[in-house]
Structure 1
Amino acid sequence: MHRLFAELEPSLTVIEQNLADRDRYILRSNIFDVAEFERLRREAVPSSDENATAEYTAPQIAEQPANVNTAVNTPVVVDSNDNVTVAQELELKHMRSTLEEAIVETRSTPLENRPRLPRIALSKRNRAVVRALNPMLVTYLEASRDLCETESILFGAALAVCRIIGAKVSTAGRATGQSSAIPAWRRRIEERIVKARALIGRLICFRSGNNRPRIVRNFRMAFAGTNSDQKRLYESLERPMVSGTGPAPNQADTIAFWRGLWSEPVNHSEGPWTEVVASQCANITPMDPVIITPDDEAEVVRRAPNWKIPGLDGLHHY
């Protein structure tokens, strides 16, 4: 390329590295489209000089993958009219393999064990990945049998995008935190303990002679309504013990009591009012069945806000 440039522009002195940097910048900045590049090439290189044409076009094809984005390992998305290079074919093959693995993995994973999908930045690179994967989904979506399988395909595609762009995906699953969550009653007790310890610490500071406004304010709030009676203060922190009267029932009596309520068959006799209600409702016209069309679904999706909190499927709306 440098030799050809020296022949075309002998008055300009440019070193090889500088020329390569300028060429790379022009290709990456999307200043010219493919048609404009071809027109400039024909103007610069005569068609009769086939060897010069080949020497000129070779660097352009080699640098073409950088035309989409400058990021490392960024998949290249080209139009149907562009010539797909070997590097692009390998990248698309890798993306297709990642998509297939993600969809197969999602189908065999329960909803509660799926990883949490992060919110990805709306960058050129991420858009290029999504635009490249969208045509690959057509085959999977056309073969989908129901809505659950369609949702599984979409989640697999979203997971594939995250893996391709290198986004951090939690592998623990959404159910892990829920199964090991602290019970509500224990959280309430621990919160009361934390508040009581904080109050006791402020009271000890006040008793030791700390008269800062914040300490005094907390002291007055703590003893509000108790007339500085410490006994009444600590009694207000206690909770009454709830207990029944009489001896506690043993296990056999408890089982027999609930078994008599739930395990024995009972024949209920309906009152005459049920026949009156049935006769009054006999002449009511049933409601027409509700038919949900694709247009209805599209309207609901269009009105939903972006990044709407996901449900059990784990998919954000966008």
Structure 2
Amino acid sequence: MDLPVVCDSDDDEMVSHELEQMRSILEEAILETRSMPLKNRPRLPRIPLSKRNQAVVRTLNPMLVTYLEASRDLCETDSVLFGAAVAACRIIGAKLPMAGRATKQSSAIPAWRKRIEDRIAKARTLIGRLISFRSAGYYAELTERIDDLKQKIAAWGKRIRRFTERSRRFNQNRLFQSDQRRLYKSLERPEVCGAGPGPDQSNTVAFWRGLWSEPVNHSEGPWTEVVASQCASVTPMDPVIITPDDVAEAVRRAPNWKSPGLDGLHHYRLKGFMVCHAVLARQFQEALNQKSLPSLFTTGITHLVPKDQVTTDDSTTDLPHK
């Protein structure tokens, strides 16, 4: 559904009708995602920062108050915000896959490049045939045709190089806007291509579990007693009070489209739905006082990244978390 969102119109009936439609879409999206497992949530797309899209988010923002006030914990609040993000995508008309996170992988070769390469392949095949026919007595005509095809192949090859360079610059510019650190790392050193066979999954789990999950008995030296006596006179810090301003400041500093965690919620959604800041501050304060966080905030996705060309050795991989 693509609504025009006429927020400045003089026709109050039209504005009211659009608001009711948006409220209906919001309620349907929240009910749909409330009981949905995290792994089945659709992957939210990045939306352009246009005035119309921002107007949609601003309009949905006050509608969330009723749902957020009824939220009992951080998990419910996250579910409400994800449903609001889904509703915003539907109103804007953004493509939203509905069959979980598993989206169709695009081909490694772009369609435009494949078309040009097909033309080049056909032209080379035709050149080979013309060369074999040239000995039949039509030397001049066939030579001119062969030269023409060679010029076309050179032009198509130049077009592929030009489009590839343009695509590379476009991807670098987009990466600069979303994750500058990753861009600079890719410019400093080429990424290691994991083209070889990967390590065995069971061996990898056993290797890293032995480093991170096994209990270790440390022998405490006499220096620990000295540190403990020095810390005895240190005044304890005041209790931490989380305010809505703290949440707003943390959200403001976060990158808009940084890769989300298990919940699939980008920071841009938290920036747009500002009514959630007070609720998040209260619920984070309760979690801090109870010294307990839901598994949603303590579980991450781990990807193995090879550090060199040896991709089968478990010890030559890093474990960046998302």
Scaled to the shorter chain, the TM-score interval is: 0.3 to 0.5
TM-score (norm. length: structure 1): 0.40
Find the structure with the greater CA-based Rg: 1
